[in-house]
Structure 1
């Protein structure tokens, strides 16, 4: 059954997952105000510092609302440019926060959908994903896996979806190992469809230093190349999100 998203759910998720960041932000605002009074800062200095803090708190929410609440990301219209008409077996692999498996199933009702969770509390230590996991609804029969092994037969899948999840694998070596497993389970000419924010200028403007949570296009192309995938095409879903369609070619 498809889960209906609430109004501004994307923004509410960002606040919930990153509440430690917003707590620090409001603490910095309080300290800035106190210091400006105690040390008689100039108005210009006070405004500059306060503006920078406010920018880092507000702009990510505006961008998140644009990407996750108003751009129809969860309508999956962006899939229309990828030929997936004859797929029969699909996997959705995530890091424990799953808003997409029900949606994928609704778009491909006649396919077999496998859902895997690769989260490892030792390796994947970002606070945001820990918070996200605590409120996530679990798709039925989701299987917890290691990034070293996906329990499916070789050449068994038409499509693997990695939707805003792969960046939680922080080590490049672990990325390569995981993608080689994806390569193994994909059929010849099978797809890995990855949607990610990138460590680029647009996401720097949106998330300031928080853009370091993501990886550059160069990093992703390198690790997919080492796993023997071919980049079929790349497109932008808003200036802040990239869609990569990699294929298994033999």
Structure 2
């Protein structure tokens, strides 16, 4: 499989699309170098100092850019959790702002059934000459849909995975940005995943790009945008110190991961049943087979609950986003619904009625079984 990107393509494109800036900087460096060589003291010192002031941030920004875009595996997508990779046959939405470098990578690496490319480039607003040069060098892929940030030309729940790769920061106004992410949420399936990759306005990017870091948004600004759009960050990944990936998962996926943690704890609690309920004393009159059946069956119940918890913790995305996962979730929903019914019709009410602590435990576990069965049934019947 031929690589989509050429060696050092990232830093080469930066120089290529911003050559006027680098030509000006090079001219200034030559002038300062000549001045430092020819001028008498102390003017030569000041010229040399100016030379360093111009050269240092220029070299730093190019070195960091080469590291980010060409050396750190950003476009190889190895930093992305396996649970975020769309299933075969899924529809993937790629969003760009005039320069789409990621769609060819997604097409090659994920091979989705359908890759929808949406471009919200507006020549009246995105007036940078670098963008115009980039679009001439890399025209939008065939079939790319022109869009407005407040109205994506897509039906609701179109994409299983949506990727906004180094593009969303071009939406400068906070209200427009919130509306844009509301549209991304609408266009993404309820069981889907939204992946946002961006520079942040932070110390690392200040050291790398000096005043250029103001073009990025702060983490607080992004979080405010996501809250306004009704999105919650499920995972934050530092791909490099300069690039952050923010992943938004289906609400039910987060519920399943929470349930997974609870089920693991519940499974471990079974280890204390024998001592707490005094089984050694209570089971003494029973035959050996009956005593051992109680211990063995309790162990396997605990093991089953533990495996359910680990399944939810490690494969919540698959439970929500695949047909097989939803069938498994439906089965688990029926299992916990049966456990809820047993709480009321299998155990005698005399075990808890009139007893404050036992009544509290009965109510808490009834709510727990109802919650478990409700979430699993919703996932099984409706996805995320």
Counterpart-to-counterpart distance in 2, 1:157 and 1:74 = 21
Match of 1:132 in 2: 134
Q: Distance in 1 between matches of 2:62 and 2:45?
A: 26
In structure 2, C-alpha distance between the alignment counterparts of 1:47 and 1:82, rounded to whole Å: 53
Matched residue, 1:78: 79
Displacement of 1:191 after TM fit?
Answer: 1.9
Partner of 1:7: 7
Check conservation: 1:186, 1:248, Cα contact below 8 A: no
Matches within 5 A, 1:8-23: 8-23=8-23
Deviation of 1:204 (Å): 1.0
Distance 2:145 2:24 in 1: 35
SS in 1 for 2:247: strand
The 10-residue stretch of structure 1 (149-158 or 197-206) with the greater mean CA deviation from structure 2: 149-158
Does 2:226 correspond to 1:224? yes
Q: Which is further off, 216-225 or 42-51?
A: 42-51
Deviation at 1:220, TM superposition (A): 1.0
Q: Which has more strand, going by share of residues?
A: 1
Shift of 1:42: 4.0
Q: Deviations over 1:188-208 (max 9, x none)?
A: 142221111111111111111
Q: Secondary structure at the match of 2:79?
A: helix
Instruction: Report whether the alignment pairs 1:213 with 2:215.
Output: yes
Measure, in 2, the Cα distance between the counterparts of 1:110 and 1:2: 18
- Kindly report which structure 2 residues correspond to 1:62-141, keeping only aligned pairs within 5 A, or say none: 62-80=63-81, 82-86=83-87, 88-141=90-143
1:208–1:82 CA distance, 2 compared to 1 (3 A): farther
How do residues 143-154 of structure 1 correspond to structure 2 at under 5 angstroms?
Answer: 143-154=145-156
TM-score after normalising by structure 2: 0.60
User: Equivalents in 2 of 1:99, 1:210: separation in Å?
Assistant: 21
Q: Is the 8 A contact 2:32 2:50 kept in 1?
A: yes
Match of 1:191 in 2: 193
The answer on whether the counterparts of 2:196 and 2:246 sit within 8 Å (CA) in structure 1 is: yes
Provide the C-alpha distance between the structure 2 equivalents of 1:121 and 1:138, rounded to a whole number of angstroms: 14
Evaluate the alpha carbon distance shift between residue 99 and residue 11 of structure 1 in structure 2; reply closer, same or farther with a 3 A threshold. Answer: same
Query: Distance between the aligned counterparts of 2:138 and 2:76, measured in 1?
Result: 19
CA displacement, residues 49-80 of structure 1 (integer Å, 9 cap, x when unaligned): 11110012211111111111111211111123
User: Please, which runs of 5 or more residues in structure 2 have no aligned partner?
Assistant: 253-384
Are 1:229 and 1:248, in contact at CA under 8 Å, matched by a contact in 2? no
Q: Structure 1 stretch 75-84 or stretch 34-43: which is displaced more?
A: 34-43
- The question of 1:158 aligning with 2:179 is answered no
Q: Secondary structure of 1:5's match?
A: coil
Higher mean C-alpha displacement, 174-183 vs 72-81: 72-81
Compute the RMSD of aligned alpha carbons: 2.3
* RCO higher in structure (CA 8 A, sep ≥6): 1
Residues 167-213 of structure 1: CA deviation (Å, up to 9, x unaligned): 12222222112111111112214222111111111111111111112
| 3-state DSSP of counterpart to 1:96 | coil
Whole-Å Cα distance in 2 between the matches of residues 179 and 204 of structure 1? 26
Q: Cα 1:17–1:170, aligned 2, differ >3 Å: closer, same or farther?
A: farther
Deviates more, 1:158-167 or 1:20-29: 20-29
Residues 81/43 of structure 1: CA separation in 2 closer, same or farther (3 Å cut): farther
Once the two structures are TM-superposed, the CA of residue 20 in structure 1 deviates from its matched residue by 2.5
Matches of 1:126 and 1:119, distance apart in 2: 11
TM-score (structure 1 length as normaliser): 0.90
Deviation at 1:108, TM superposition (A): 2.2
Residue 54 of structure 2 corresponds to residue 53 of structure 1? yes
Residues in 1 aligned to 2:231 and 2:201: alpha-carbon distance in whole angstroms: 21
